[in-house]
Amino acid sequence: MPESDLPFEILSHIAIYVLNDDKPACMMTCKRWKIPFQESVWKTIEIDSFEKLEEICTIANNSTSRLPPYDLTTEIIRIHRPCNIRELQKTQAFRTFQNLKHLDIGAISYELADFGFTRYVPDSTSLVSLKLKIKAIDGIISTPITIGILGHMPNLQKIDIYPELSIYKIQFKLHQFNHLHTLLPKLTAIKLSLSFHWIHPKAVPSIPQTDPAPSVTTLDLEIIDWDHIWLYYFSFKYPNLRTLRWKTSRSEYEQTAKEYTMEKIELLRSITKAFTCLETIDFFTESSTEWAHAIFWEILCRLNSPVKRLKYSIRNYSCEARFLEGVIEQFTNSFSRTLETLSVVGNLLSFDIKNIVTPKLSHCPRLVDLEIKCCGVSIALDNVLDNCTALRRLSFCNGLLYINPETNERPIQHGLRTLELDTVTTKSFVFNYISSRCRDLEYMALIQTQIYESVSEKTKGLHINMSYTNFKKLYLDHVLFYLSDDFMNMNITIKLVLLSQLTDPRKTNKDPEHGNVESFATHIAWFHLSDALKNNTSLNSLDITQLSEEDGYDITRQFLDFQLKRNYNSQEAKTFIREQTSVHPWKKDICEGCVEFTCGRINEYRIL
């Protein structure tokens, strides 16, 4: 089909992805192309100021052409540069563009004295979405003026309001928050960066009679200062809440902690039903205290809310691995019936391998995605696979990955497809176990991972056997292999790595879980870790080189020769190797052993 015959619907869809600067050329292509690309230009207006917006309004109002109808075509307006309330008051945009649905004002400023101007802001009944960045004047942002502006947009469904600088805050009192909902009864999604004013104890008895906002399903709050009684209020205000993002900062933590009394704890514990529809939580805190987690410990976990997707982040340098162990265990216990994705991210950049902290996961039959990062904890992989039978992706950072010694010798097969390990320490046997049990594994990424095993002094060969695994993609980034668990001794680092795959994945004589599988393998490539590593223990200092096929053949032959000679005379073997290092520097590392990483099939790989 020639371009000139493309249907209007397809051209309109193409126009969405064409840059505005290129659309005039498309309009000139042919008569059929003119209208869809012209409409696309007018559908979204992005300008620097209200002054420019007024010029565009004048063009639309004075246009003699009604194709396209500009007043109905424009749906989105974005203003990038700062403006003030007087410019908003005078704008023709709401009258000109009668189908305007989304308004994004880059930065608007107003003073306390501007409150009277809110009465003259033009009404817009078509707007359903507003994004408003507010510039503080003398460090103050007027909440009454903000609410006054919103009152002229009664059909808003989504609001996103935040200060230009995070050090300032929009403070809401209880009656102002209720008034906001009265003015905007159709709200479904609320995103605010704010602080909550203290609620007087005398107002608490009336909170259960609060008019609910049943249409609100998404609440996204970035809170600078708050009172725990607001949690009590939200439990009655939002009965149909499905998505909650809760982020608190440290600025007022000390004062908030003092105000978290037993009386408030008991008030939260008196709630018997709340957030019965909540499915998604994104939680961020900078404190590991009980009061900072009251929304979990006293409400959501206690009431076993039907949470499906949970992301938890904490940034606190005094937070310990034992605390995060408890967080992981509490989440998997409280939401075990419904949890589908769980992400727990701390900021512990190291873990104590001599003092293992391992969370015991409850049975989560629906969990498909698990992410544990920088928590200082270790993971017993068999426990995770046994209790999370539907798991398809496991991402683990900064810890020890191991298999319980008493694990079942013939475990049930598992459907894990993606494994991501970053700064993890583990034994080579773990990968044999994974290949045997998780035969659907398709993607594996190992980043700054340390793999070790005690190997025979005679062979010095480390074999990672994943012969049951057919990789779509294998990614190895700064991976180190060791002959023992003495990780600080760089002299035991194996510097020659062979990547191989089976010529026929079906031909294996033993289960790879037990290693030393007799199979029909073909070499993909040999890799050499540079000698610079000896003088630098940083994983980032790794320099890995892929060797030529000729060098790979020599390594294979000479490593076998080395093994034979070592059995006869160790010193003779070292002399045999040393004599050949002047031509090929990697040859001196044959004495240190080699690693063979065997897979069933590898479609794509990358080694750094």
Question: Of all residues in the chain, what percent carry a pLDDT higher than 90?
Answer: 47
Q: Is it true that the peptide bond before 68 is cis, omega within 30 degrees of 0?
A: yes
According to DSSP, the β-strands at 461-471 and 594-602 are parallel
Q: How confident is the model at residue 518 (pLDDT cuts 50, 70, 90)?
A: very low
Three-state DSSP class for 493? strand
Q: How confident is the model at residue 287 (pLDDT cuts 50, 70, 90)?
A: confident
Which region among 13-27, 138-152, 270-284 has the lowest average model confidence (pLDDT)? 13-27
Q: pLDDT value at position 285?
A: 92
Q: Residue 512 above 60 pLDDT? A: no
Contact 370, 347 (CB under 8 A): no
Which region among 263-277, 380-394, 428-442, 581-595 has the lowest average model confidence (pLDDT)? 581-595
- Residue 529 has phi, psi (to 5 degrees) of -85, 130
- Residue 334 has phi, psi (to 5 degrees) of -70, -35
Q: How confident is the model at residue 70 (pLDDT cuts 50, 70, 90)?
A: low
Q: Residue 171 above 50 pLDDT? A: yes
To the nearest whole number, what is the mean pLDDT of the chain? 83
Q: pLDDT value at position 383?
A: 94
Q: pLDDT value at position 350?
A: 80
Q: pLDDT value at position 568?
A: 37
Q: pLDDT value at position 50?
A: 83
Contact 58, 81 (CB under 8 A): no
Q: Residue 511 above 70 pLDDT? A: no
Q: pLDDT value at position 558?
A: 66
Q: pLDDT value at position 539?
A: 53
More confident residue, 389 or 352: 389
More confident residue, 137 or 505: 137
More confident residue, 257 or 513: 257
Q: Which two tokens stand for residue 58?
A: 């004048």
Q: How confident is the model at residue 359 (pLDDT cuts 50, 70, 90)?
A: very high
What are the pLDDT digits (tens) for 476-498? 999 999 887 665 555 668 888 99
Q: pLDDT value at position 81?
A: 85
Nearest to 429 by CA among 547, 535, 363, 514: 514
Which region among 13-27, 235-249, 470-484, 546-560 has the lowest average model confidence (pLDDT)? 13-27
Nearest to 23 by CA among 46, 50, 52, 2: 46
Contact 547, 526 (CB under 8 A): yes
Contact 269, 235 (CB under 8 A): no
Q: How confident is the model at residue 1 (pLDDT cuts 50, 70, 90)?
A: low
Q: pLDDT value at position 138?
A: 76
Nearest to 441 by CA among 405, 468, 417: 417
Cα Dmax for the chain = 99
Q: Residue 349 above 60 pLDDT? A: yes
- Quote the DSSP letter at residue 519: B
pLDDT, average across residues 10-14: 73
What are the pLDDT digits (tens) for 361-385? 999 999 999 999 999 999 999 999 9
What are the pLDDT digits (tens) for 390-446? 999 999 999 999 999 887 778 899 999 999 999 999 999 999 999 999 999 999 999
Q: pLDDT value at position 457?
A: 61
Q: Residue 597 above 70 pLDDT? A: yes
Give the separation between CA 139 and CA 118, rounded to whole angstroms: 20
Q: pLDDT value at position 121?
A: 82
Q: pLDDT value at position 575?
A: 55
Nearest to 243 by CA among 294, 285, 284, 191: 191
Which region among 66-80, 82-96, 466-480, 543-557 has the lowest average model confidence (pLDDT)? 66-80
Q: How confident is the model at residue 231 (pLDDT cuts 50, 70, 90)?
A: very high
Q: pLDDT value at position 175?
A: 95
Q: How confident is the model at residue 533 (pLDDT cuts 50, 70, 90)?
A: very low
More confident residue, 551 or 475: 475
Q: Which two tokens stand for residue 568?
A: 């006869």
Q: Residue 323 above 60 pLDDT? A: yes
Give the separation between CA 292 and CA 257, rounded to whole angstroms: 8
CA 476 to chain centre: 21
pLDDT, average across residues 164-189: 92
More confident residue, 592 or 406: 406
Q: Residue 27 above 50 pLDDT? A: yes
pLDDT, average across residues 560-564: 51
Give the separation between CA 606 and CA 608, rounded to whole angstroms: 7
For the chain, how many residues are written? 608
Q: Residue 228 above 60 pLDDT? A: yes
Q: Residue 15 above 90 pLDDT? A: no
Q: pLDDT value at position 256?
A: 60
- Residue 60 has phi, psi (to 5 degrees) of -65, -40
Q: Residue 501 above 60 pLDDT? A: yes
pLDDT, average across residues 333-344: 97
The Cα-based distances of 45 to 34, 55, 90, 129, 407 in angstroms read 18, 12, 18, 15, 62
Q: Residue 569 above 80 pLDDT? A: no
Three-state DSSP class for 91? coil
